[in-house]
Amino acid sequence: MTAHDRIAARAVGLIPDDAVVAATNSLAAHLSARRRVLSFPFLEDATWVAADETQPGFADRYAPLATAEQLVWLRRNPEWKLVFEDDGVLVFRRLVT
């Protein structure tokens, strides 16, 4: 387990077990036992977002703009709060549902 893996585990550990979460591929694997996990950048009814900027998913390698734009939008959107940022791993929580 690398230092980055430990950071990712700590980050996803912040997300409540019953939350609907949108995640990038590398972090979605840590969340796959949950009832509902969405593929980031799609948010739909997600109340949490987990994204790893350092490990793009398969689709992100071919179309990285959608993920990058969505992360910029989340950082600027007052309805979302960045609650974790370390080594390119980000966790956002929706403030307004």
Q: What is the pLDDT along the chain (97 residues), one digit of tens a residue?
A: 899 999 999 999 999 999 999 999 889 888 888 889 998 888 999 999 999 988 766 555 555 667 888 899 999 999 999 999 999 999 999 998 6
Among 56, 41, 48, which Cα is nearest to 18's? 48
- Name the residue range of residue 20's domain: 3-94
Q: Which residues pair with 91 in a beta bridge?
A: 50, 84
Give buried/exposed letters for 54-81 (b at 16+ CB in 10 A, else e). Answer: eebbeebeeeeeebeebbeebeeeeebe
Task: Identify the pLDDT of residue 97.
Answer: 61
How many domains is the chain partitioned into structurally? 1
Task: Identify the pLDDT of residue 89.
Answer: 96
Task: Identify the pLDDT of residue 1.
Answer: 87
